[in-house]
Amino acid sequence: MTDLATRATPSRAPLLRRAAPALLGYAAVRALGLVVLAVWSAARGKSAYTLLTARWDSLWYTRVAELGYGYEVRLPNGDVHSNLAFFPLLPWLERALHAVTPLSYADAGFVVALLASLAAACGIFAVAEHVYGRRVGVCAVLLWAVLPVGIVQSMAYSESLFTALAAWSLYAVLTGRWVGAGVLAALAGLTRPVGLAVVAAVWVTGVISFVRDRSARGASGARDGEHAPVPRRALGMLLAPLGAAGYVLWVGHRTGKGLLGYLDVQAGWRNGFDGGYAFGRFVADKFTSFPSALAGAGLIIGVALLIWLYVTGVRQRQPVALLVYTGVVLALALCASSYFGSKPRLLMPAFPVLFPLARALARLRTSRSALVTAGVAAATAVYGAFWLNGSGPP
* DSSP 3-state of 71: coil
Give the model's pLDDT for residue 259.
81
Residue 130 has φ and ψ, to the nearest 5°, of -60, -35
Question: How far apart (Å, rounded) are the C-alpha atoms in residues 6 and 356?
Answer: 12
Give the model's pLDDT for residue 223.
52
Amino acid 187 reads L
Answer for the pair 136, 359: CB distance below 8 angstroms, yes or no. yes
Answer for the pair 94, 112: CB distance below 8 angstroms, yes or no. yes
How far is the CA of 172 from the CAs of 71, 188, 281, in angstroms?
37, 14, 40
pLDDT by residue, tens only, the chain of 394 residues: 444 334 445 566 899 999 999 999 999 999 999 999 999 999 999 999 999 999 899 999 999 999 999 999 999 888 899 999 999 999 999 999 999 999 999 999 999 999 999 999 999 999 999 999 999 999 999 999 999 999 999 999 999 999 999 999 999 999 999 999 999 999 999 999 999 999 999 999 999 988 874 655 555 444 555 567 888 999 999 999 999 999 999 999 999 998 889 999 999 998 888 888 888 888 888 888 878 888 888 889 999 999 999 999 999 999 999 999 999 999 999 998 877 778 899 999 999 999 999 999 999 999 999 999 999 999 999 999 999 998 888 7
Question: How far apart (Å, rounded) are the C-alpha atoms in residues 16 and 242?
Answer: 30
Answer for the pair 136, 143: CB distance below 8 angstroms, yes or no. no
Instruction: Please state the domain extents for the chain.
Output: 15-270+355-388
Residue 295 has φ and ψ, to the nearest 5°, of -65, -40
Give the model's pLDDT for residue 225.
53
Answer for the pair 205, 152: CB distance below 8 angstroms, yes or no. no
Give the model's pLDDT for residue 213.
45
Give the model's pLDDT for residue 3.
42
Nearest to 348 by CA among 172, 158, 106: 158
Give the model's pLDDT for residue 227.
61
Answer for the pair 143, 354: CB distance below 8 angstroms, yes or no. yes
